């Protein structure tokens, strides 16, 4: 089938930009201006303050982190450039050699982003995301109610994330969510655009947050789970089998998802927004789209192959266990980043018109992805690595624990949960797990207390960073869509951090004793 002439992409991942009122624009100018000066000023103050408990490198890194975090929140310059600022200052101030500082910008996670973004772009180029969106919107139970669409969309993301990474889940759900929002925009009148924008923010946040929530459900769902389980086995000498973890984590996942849905639905009320007449609209759109094109079939094939290779480790873990040579060998050869790049490469070799040597995706189309997000997360990984190397995170954890005054197992567990959440906001969840979990275990052992509840609380808390784009890969992915503002992410993320931490503690307090683990 001949490929249509190159045209503007049916939907750009950088659109639609947030439309601000005059008062909102004034607030944004004030926020940017204050942040521009507050960031370096606060960093300088931290640098000049005497901190004898920190090494010189950790002290300088603390000053950089304060500056970077303030600029990430206030956005006086683009967030990706702030990530580069952290790396540049770390090199200039001698915290680490330049090769060590910039090596994380080529971390495999970055290439997982790259492959996933290219797959998502192909779905947009060939309108495959619209076909997926229509399928969700025509489910009988979902009907024409945005709340039900949001619930079903998030439930799918949470379930998928139990078996594949939260990053891969968010990358897969992003174009589907964009398709839903795009269809809604075409249905609404001009006066309803602001309501649709609010619903768009809730869909984007749901894609990120549900992916992270779902990841706690199985040991393979997210890296902190495997890191925590391994450290518990090494330092506490307690092995947590695959399904024992699920027995604990799946009930927590369900409770957390219900909280997440209620929170996003409350913060971004759809009002009178509805899809009355949507079924006729969707049928007409489907007729307009016609039969499946070769490009759509090729993109779907690449997408399904990628998903299958992402899911396979979970299936192998169920069949053989996570210590079996087959499981270990597969993970060593087919890391998630490798699988994402394989899927992306397929798009450049699967033809849509062999005679004309036209393939599923061109580089011009692929280059439209959000490169800034790749830089952003590379900077987050770099800062997290240096926090670990300089022992800044260890000192921070000890200070926070002493301030909390926790002395009992469950007091330390509550503190451990919130320390993990706090650290994961400033760096990746993987780096947070490596930094926080051993500290929590050592502190509990030193106090003569059972380290298992605090260690498990810290492990789950490391997946609970929701406030900033750099906190988790899913946050960075949906932020790159341009459909959710930093203010909306901070507001929802802060509330979910606080409420989620309490629910994690309550659930562990109830279930761990029943399972003989406390």
State the pLDDT at residue 9: 37
Least reliable range by pLDDT among 22-36, 130-144, 461-475: 130-144
Interhelix angle 325-333/294-320, nearest 10 degrees = 150
Residues in the chain, total: 518
12 has pLDDT over 70:
no
Distance CA 43, CA 379 (A): 17
Distance CA 496, CA 488 (A): 12
What's the sign of the alpha-carbon dihedral 351, 353, 357, 362? negative
pLDDT in tens, 397-445: 677 667 766 678 998 899 899 988 987 886 667 767 777 787 788 778 7
Least reliable range by pLDDT among 210-219, 362-371, 426-435: 426-435
pLDDT in tens, 64-80: 989 988 888 788 998 88
**What is the pLDDT averaged over residues 6-14?**
37
Helix (H) or strand (E) holding 359: strand 358-359
State the pLDDT at residue 419: 87
Residue of 492 and 3 predicted with greater confidence: 492
Nearby residues of 488 by Cβ (< 8 Å), 6 or more positions away: 201, 205, 267, 268
- Banded model confidence at residue 187, pLDDT cuts 50, 70, 90: low
464 has pLDDT over 90:
no
C-alpha torsion angle, residues 116, 122, 127, 128 (rounded to 10): -50
Q: What SS3 class is residue 351?
A: strand
For the chain, give every domain's residue range: 37-103, 108-222+241-366
pLDDT in tens, 234-274: 788 887 877 788 889 999 999 999 999 999 988 887 655 55
Residue of 63 and 291 predicted with greater confidence: 63
């Amino acid at each position: 089938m001949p490929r249509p002439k190159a045209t503007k992409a049916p939907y750009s991942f950088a659109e639609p930009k947030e439309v601000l009122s005059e008062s909102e624009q004034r607030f944004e100018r004030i926020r940017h201006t204050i942040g521009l000066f507050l960031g370096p000023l606060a960093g300088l103050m931290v640098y000049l303050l005497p901190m004898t408990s920190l090494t010189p490198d950790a002290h300088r890194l603390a000053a950089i982190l304060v500056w970077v975090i303030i600029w990430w929140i206030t956005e006086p310059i683009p967030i990706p450039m702030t990530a580069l600022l952290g790396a540049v200052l770390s090199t200039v101030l001698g915290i680490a050699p330049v090769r060590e500082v910039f090596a994380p910008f080529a971390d495999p996670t970055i290439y997982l982003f790259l492959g996933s973004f290219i797959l998502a772009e192909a779905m947009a180029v060939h309108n495959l995301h619209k076909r997926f969106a229509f399928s969700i919107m025509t489910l009988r139970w979902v009907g024409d109610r945005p709340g039900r669409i949001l619930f079903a969309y998030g439930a799918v993301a949470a379930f998928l994330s139990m078996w594949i990474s939260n990053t891969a889940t968010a990358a897969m759900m992003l174009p589907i969510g964009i398709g839903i929002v795009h269809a809604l925009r075409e249905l609404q009148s001009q006066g309803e655009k602001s309501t649709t924008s609010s619903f768009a923010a809730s869909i984007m946040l749901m894609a990120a947050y549900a992916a992270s929530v779902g990841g706690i459900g199985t040991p393979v769902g997210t890296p902190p789970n495997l890191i925590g389980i391994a450290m518990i086995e090494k330092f506490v000498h307690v092995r947590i089998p695959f399904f024992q973890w699920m027995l604990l984590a799946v009930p927590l996942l369900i409770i957390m998802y219900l909280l997440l849905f209620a929170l996003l639905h409350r913060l971004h009320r759809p009002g009178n927004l509805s899809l009355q007449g949507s079924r006729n609209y969707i049928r007409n759109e489907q007729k307009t789209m016609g039969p499946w094109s070769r490009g759509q079939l090729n993109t779907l094939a690449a997408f399904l192959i990628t998903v299958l290779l992402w899911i396979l480790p979970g299936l192998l873990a169920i069949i053989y266990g996570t210590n079996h040579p087959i499981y270990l060998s597969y993970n060593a050869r087919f890391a998630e980043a490798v699988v994402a790049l394989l899927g992306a490469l397929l798009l450049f070799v699967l033809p849509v018109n062999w005679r004309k040597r036209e393939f599923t995706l061109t580089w011009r189309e692929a280059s439209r992805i959000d490169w800034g997000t790749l830089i952003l997360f590379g900077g987050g990984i770099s800062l997290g690595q240096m926090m670990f190397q300089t022992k800044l995170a260890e000192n921070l954890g000890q200070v926070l624990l002493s301030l909390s005054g926790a002395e009992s197992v469950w007091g330390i567990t509550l503190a451990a949960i919130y320390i993990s959440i706090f650290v994961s906001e400033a760096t990746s969840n993987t780096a947070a797990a490596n930094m926080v979990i051993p500290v929590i275990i050592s502190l509990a052992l030193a106090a003569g207390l059972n380290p298992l509840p605090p260690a498990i609380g810290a492990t789950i808390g490391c997946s609970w960073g929701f406030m900033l784009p750099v906190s988790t890969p899913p946050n960075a992915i949906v932020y790159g869509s341009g459909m959710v503002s930093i203010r909306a992410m901070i507001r929802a993320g802060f509330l979910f951090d606080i409420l989620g931490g309490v629910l994690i503690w309550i659930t562990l307090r109830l279930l761990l004793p029943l399972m003989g683990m406390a």
